[in-house]
Structure 1
Amino acid sequence: MTTALDDARTHAARVVTPELVARLTRGVPGSGRTACHSPLTGERLAELPETTVPEVAGAFDRARAAQQSWAALPVRRRAAVLLRFHDLMLRRQDEILDLIQLETGKARLHAHEEVQAVAMAARHYGRKAPAYLRPRRHTGSIPVLTRVRQLRHPRGVVGQIAPWNYPLELSAGDALPALVAGNALVMKPDTETALTALWARRLLIEAGLPEDVWQVVIGAGPVVGPAVVAHADYLSFTGSTATGRAVAQGAAARLVGASLELGGKNAMLVLDDADLDRAAAGAVRACFSSAGQLCISVERLYVHQSVADVFLERFTARTRALRLGGGLDWGADMGSLASQAQLDTVLRHIKDAVANGATVLAGGHPRPDLGPYFHEPTVLDGVTPGMAVCEQETFGPVVSVYRFRDEDEAVERANATPYGLNSSVWSRSAPRARRIAARLRTGTVNINEGYAAAYGSVQAPMGGMGDSGLGRRHGAEGIHKYTEPQTIAHQRVLPLAPSFGMDDRQYARFISGSLRLMKTLRLR
């Protein structure tokens, strides 16, 4: 009789062949060797090149040399690569779904969320990049006499440090706008999920991206990460707030820009007029997708006291019914945590909460019978300030429930965190929900959805406030951050100085009168 571990080993051997690893790592610098592992078994998945600090510098040199000819292409030519990538990925999605599951342990549906997100980003920037990047005219200091044109130039070589939890979306999804803007890219993926990022790179090359334009370097974060920071013309980072601060300091020291998406302690508000069945189903998705290892997932549930008992009965019933599994197929509702470190955090937070008076309403136990890092989705009641799970990011399948009396209390308690990434409001009244949403101090707010509505709306910006980061991905901000704006002003006929025999006083009067006239004419 085969076990879940036996099945996972069989899948790994079938998918991650020596031929696949050789193809994906071709051109990746690395005089050393390292390895990635599958959380489904805890065992080695593949051996990979390990990049040294001098080799990181070499990758930047190659990227810098390739960037000039890439940037010289018309933007529509670059955008066409993204659209071809979109089609190739959807056509061959089973390949990448297998890799994502083997490298992260997540359920197949949650792996497909990454495919959805990257496809939407590829389509959006493939269609909209020419408009986002086109030269624009502005009103000059003196209308008609001053003609102003704004250009957008690529920054050069973008350094990207990508995390392990969404290895396709947070590698390729962030790479696409940087590349279509005319930049080259040197990416450091997390070693444990490097195969997914390498697959995306190889597919983009197949779609027409010149090979040297996207470089990948692999190695330990404290070694390779600072080397990326030391050479990049701009930095894109997704990860912990502590590491994000270090990246920001390194960028500031070199006077280069940085975009940081960091941690979150996201709240969901269930109002007294919410559809409780929809809210309970939505809370399950919001809390336990990818085993809660998602920066924008919900870790705090605030429920109006008048509906709390009914809501919790429905929510905990749905939570207990979730099917855990690690197979590379459809059907499991939740997969594994990614590592022993993530499991240790989950166990520590639950143990601390229970020891200090919290109650486990559902779950609460690891599931080693399924794999080394599986843990039941867990709902905690009676959590109070001072408990680790109340204030620290768990990044696992654990949610705490709190009751509130009125809207003001709910908003105040939801905002009582240094984080400000995502939040969720559930109500049958759209005006009421929008009013509350505008009071929440988070970069995105979802109404009657947990996180997917805002994140999937790729024309709109997504990012965090406070300790949740700097900058935005998606929309105009998501591509403009990878460019340097340049203003070219052409002064005609008259200089911006005394002329035609005017002395300084006469010129000052002339300009003052002109300014009054422009205000009257409502010129901007």
Structure 2
Amino acid sequence: MATSSRPAWVTDELITQWSAWVSRDASRRGPDRAEPVTAVAPFDLAPIAAVPACTPEDVTAAVARARADQPEWAGTPLRRRGDVLLAFHDLLLERQDQVIDLIQWETGKARYHAWQEVAQVAAIARHYARHARHYLAPHHVRGMVPGLTKVKEVRVPKGVVGVISPWNYPLYLGVGDVLPALMAGNAVASKADSQTALTMLWTRALMAEAGLPTGLWQIVAGPGAEVGTALVDAVDFVCFTGSTATGRTVAERAARRLVGASLELGGKNPLIVREDADVAAAAAGTVVAAFANTGQMCIHIERVYVHEKVYDAFRAELVRATRALRLGQSYDYSVDIGSLTSAAQLAAVEAHVDGAVAERATVLAGGRARPDIGPLFYEPTVLEGVTPGMAVCDEETFGPVLSLYAYGADSEAVGLANQGTYGLSASIWSRDSREAGRMAVRIRAGSVNINDGAAAAAGSIEAGMGGMGESGLGRRHGAEGIRKYTESQTIATQRLLPLGPPKPGQSAVERFVRRTNGQLALLRRLGVR
């Protein structure tokens, strides 16, 4: 088996080895066995590989295996868990060219954008290996009776964490959430996206080489409606990244079981260019934030609001920078923008742009598919004259398309940025960072970048990342990015005397109440608690 886009080093033998990490009953035959899933390569639409698929019964069994191995891992010292993550970190950097090839083969993205996933996952592994002890440390608090009641809050693992990740960032989103879950002492069951399963399976093999016990990270594959549903029904916590519509379903299903969930969902992210902004820098930053990963990322910029006094200058600079981008398919760093990943995504982009043009929006740059480069290529596109009611105005495009709008006052820009139901990421460009900061807290978004499009917040691993409104619940990265995989447990130790009256009887109870009331009044006068 060979295709024009298949990396030369990827053999059938290697694909068979990676596929063995799919958790399923290989002995099942006939109608009870799920049919393999075969994705197509975006660069040429040739088949990638037939990846074994799971049944709901396979998912249940995989979670049971993970659950059986989890207690021993939870009892493993944090230092040892951290050693596994650091070994993985080193192996990932050493063999990054392999996984970058796989990411490109499965998604069609430019090589630099594939490399960014490696850099981000390495940073996550290193961060939690070094800082989990701090994030998960017991917290001592004042007890009910000072001096007699000793209390501490500890963090205990949830058990088995289910991770459902999408195709657009198969390493970063597929593995970046797994690492802190493991570091917190959990086992993990991941659903590999059918488009990008090989990236996850390659990574699972690397984690085994880094020393992760076999049963702790189970991989299941297959249709989301069946396999994803079975996963949500079996695990103790769900980490989901994907569309808002599917996120609602995941949250509802988890809630029926009283199981927690973190959800990073859709976005229609705004960027504001203030009157005092460095126009050239703002235009360059907008191009990166809008067109990186061919616009297929939840935090990419789709709406750009520019102060009317600098609108013309910014528009000219933005159009020039957009037209200068190099499109292509190459396993090197010679191109800026790669392919869209699926025919469905190309169709969605075309529908948004063509619909806007039909309603008299203007294309300033791009605006057309490029089958001469590859079957799923679409030019980075800048639109003007977009109005409410157009799909490209009201809905997430998730492609290389942005719309330009003019505004007159900062208060108007904030109002425009807050339109809609999403609240994931935003950007403000200004020479006055203090004033931009005052604007930032008025914008409904989980992250606001000042003089950067999106990467500054997303790449700051010590800070939380997530959405407001219909962009999701919870945060990845930082303290919450690992604590969400734990339960808070209070351990209280009573010294010398038990709480309550020393003996039964009305008089003893009355004396206890009077004495306690006096203690409460004294504590109030002393300013204690």
- Which of 338, 342, 346 matches 2:341? 338
SS at match of 2:38: strand
Alpha carbons of structure 1 residues 308 and 137: separation in structure 2 relative to 1, 3 Å: same
Tell me which amino acid in the other structure corresponds to 1:10: S
Give the TM-score normalised by structure 1.
Answer: 0.96
SS at match of 1:119: helix
- 1:352 corresponds to: 355
Give the TM-score normalised by structure 2.
Answer: 0.95
- Whether the aligned pair in 2 keeps the contact of 1:422 and 1:464 (CA below 8 Å) is yes
1:45-98 deviations in Å (ceiling 9; x for gaps): 111101111111111111111112211111111111111111111111101110
Partner Cα separation in structure 2 for residue 273 and residue 504 of structure 1? 71
Alpha carbons of structure 1 residues 476 and 522: separation in structure 2 relative to 1, 3 Å: farther
Question: CA shift at 1:260, angstroms?
Answer: 0.4
- 1:374 corresponds to: 377
- Whether the aligned pair in 1 keeps the contact of 2:7 and 2:101 (CA below 8 Å) is no
Is 1:514 the equivalent of 2:509?
Answer: no
Is 1:55 the equivalent of 2:58?
Answer: yes
Partner Cα separation in structure 2 for residue 189 and residue 519 of structure 1? 57
1:275-333 deviations in Å (ceiling 9; x for gaps): 11110110000000000000001000010011010001001100011000111111211
1:401-453 deviations in Å (ceiling 9; x for gaps): 11111011000110011000000010001110110111111001101001111
Tell me which amino acid in the other structure corresponds to 2:271: M
Tell me which amino acid in the other structure corresponds to 1:511: T
SS at match of 2:177: helix
Partner Cα separation in structure 1 for residue 517 and residue 436 of structure 2? 48
Tell me which amino acid in the other structure corresponds to 1:21: I
Is 1:279 the equivalent of 2:282?
Answer: yes
- 2:28 corresponds to: none
Is 1:96 the equivalent of 2:85?
Answer: no
SS at match of 1:50: coil
Question: CA shift at 1:202, angstroms?
Answer: 1.1
Question: CA shift at 1:484, angstroms?
Answer: 1.2
SS at match of 2:163: strand
Tell me which amino acid in the other structure corresponds to 1:510: R
Is 1:84 the equivalent of 2:87?
Answer: yes
- Which of 230, 240, 247 matches 2:233? 230
**What is the root-mean-square deviation of aligned Cα atoms in Å?**
1.5
Question: CA shift at 1:510, angstroms?
Answer: 3.4
1:92-129 deviations in Å (ceiling 9; x for gaps): 11011101111111101111111111011101101011
Question: CA shift at 1:144, angstroms?
Answer: 1.4
Question: CA shift at 1:28, angstroms?
Answer: 1.5
SS at match of 1:428: coil
Partner Cα separation in structure 1 for residue 108 and residue 528 of structure 2? 58
SS at match of 1:419: coil
Partner Cα separation in structure 2 for residue 359 and residue 520 of structure 1? 71
- Whether the aligned pair in 1 keeps the contact of 2:5 and 2:43 (CA below 8 Å) is no
- 2:331 corresponds to: 328
Partner Cα separation in structure 2 for residue 11 and residue 191 of structure 1? 18
- 1:29 corresponds to: 23
Is 1:19 the equivalent of 2:13?
Answer: yes
- Whether the aligned pair in 1 keeps the contact of 2:21 and 2:201 (CA below 8 Å) is no
SS at match of 2:389: coil
Partner Cα separation in structure 1 for residue 378 and residue 56 of structure 2? 37
Partner Cα separation in structure 1 for residue 297 and residue 319 of structure 2? 21
Alpha carbons of structure 1 residues 505 and 71: separation in structure 2 relative to 1, 3 Å: same
- Whether the aligned pair in 2 keeps the contact of 1:67 and 1:183 (CA below 8 Å) is yes
Question: CA shift at 1:498, angstroms?
Answer: 3.1
Tell me which amino acid in the other structure corresponds to 2:453: G
Question: CA shift at 1:199, angstroms?
Answer: 1.3
Q: Which runs of 5+ in 2 are unaligned?
A: 25-32
Question: CA shift at 1:136, angstroms?
Answer: 2.1
- Which of 131, 145, 152 matches 1:149? 152
- Whether the aligned pair in 2 keeps the contact of 1:39 and 1:373 (CA below 8 Å) is yes
SS at match of 1:159: strand
SS at match of 1:432: helix
Partner Cα separation in structure 2 for residue 519 and residue 108 of structure 1? 64
- 2:255 corresponds to: 252
- Which of 486, 489, 503 matches 2:492? 489
- Whether the aligned pair in 1 keeps the contact of 2:5 and 2:41 (CA below 8 Å) is no
Partner Cα separation in structure 2 for residue 134 and residue 408 of structure 1? 43
Write the mapping of 1:429-440 to structure 2, written as runs, cut at 5 A.
Answer: 429-440=432-443
Tell me which amino acid in the other structure corresponds to 2:200: A
Is 1:169 the equivalent of 2:163?
Answer: no
- 2:129 corresponds to: 126
- Which of 394, 397, 404 matches 1:391? 394
Partner Cα separation in structure 2 for residue 346 and residue 381 of structure 1? 16
- Whether the aligned pair in 1 keeps the contact of 2:4 and 2:44 (CA below 8 Å) is no
Partner Cα separation in structure 2 for residue 517 and residue 404 of structure 1? 60
- Whether the aligned pair in 2 keeps the contact of 1:363 and 1:378 (CA below 8 Å) is yes
Q: How many residues align?
A: 517
Alpha carbons of structure 1 residues 517 and 374: separation in structure 2 relative to 1, 3 Å: farther
Write the mapping of 1:152-231 to structure 2, written as runs, cut at 5 A.
Answer: 152-231=155-234
Question: CA shift at 1:505, angstroms?
Answer: 4.7
Question: CA shift at 1:503, angstroms?
Answer: 4.5
Tell me which amino acid in the other structure corresponds to 1:225: G
- 2:431 corresponds to: 428
Partner Cα separation in structure 1 for residue 528 and residue 216 of structure 2? 44
1:346-398 deviations in Å (ceiling 9; x for gaps): 00000111111211110000001111110000000011111101110000000
Partner Cα separation in structure 2 for residue 179 and residue 401 of structure 1? 43
- Whether the aligned pair in 2 keeps the contact of 1:324 and 1:333 (CA below 8 Å) is yes
Question: CA shift at 1:522, angstroms?
Answer: 4.2
Tell me which amino acid in the other structure corresponds to 2:488: P
Alpha carbons of structure 1 residues 356 and 520: separation in structure 2 relative to 1, 3 Å: farther
* Greater mean deviation of Cα atoms: 313-322 or 197-206: 197-206
